[in-house]
Amino acid sequence: MGRTLIKISVIYFMIGISFGLYMSLTHVFTMTSVHVHVNLLGWMSLALIGIIYHLYPGLEKTGLAKLHFWLHNIGLPVMMIAIALAILGVSPLFFPIATAGGAATLIGIFCFGFNVLLNLKKRTA
């Protein structure tokens, strides 16, 4: 799972940086919050989590890890797309959808946190 999360994080990195370059070229920065969240919660967070799971393989075998994986990787795209559509004024309905995606992501991150706190053992060399 650690390697998979690292690969997914690289996809978010490419999306986030491309999005930032687009905003820079067009001088339209209304989607800054989407750009920042994709880079922070997609690229940085998932890369670090992937590295942690790779270094401590026992952590990625837990139910909390699996729950985190799915909640984070479903909640984050839902949140990002809904925020973008809400900012663009498509429909105010996208604000509660963004909140639901954010809540799923948050619960997933708490699963990761509890997983580390409860199951991280000392690494033996």
In whole angstroms, give the CA distance from residue 60 to residue 76. 20
Within a domain: 91: yes
The residue-averaged pLDDT of 48-58 equals 95
Task: Compute the C-alpha angle 49/78/6, nearest 5°.
Answer: 25
Within a domain: 125: no
23: which 2 tokens?
Answer: 């905003």
Range of the domain at 90: 2-119
Structural domains of the chain, count = 1
Range 25-34 contact pairs with CB under 8 angstroms and sequence separation of 24 or more: 30/87, 30/88, 31/84, 31/87, 33/83, 33/87, 34/80, 34/83, 34/84, 34/87
Give the pLDDT confidence of 34-49 residue by residue, as tens digits: 999 999 999 999 999 9
Give the pLDDT confidence of 3-46 residue by residue, as tens digits: 999 999 999 999 999 989 999 999 989 989 999 999 999 999 99
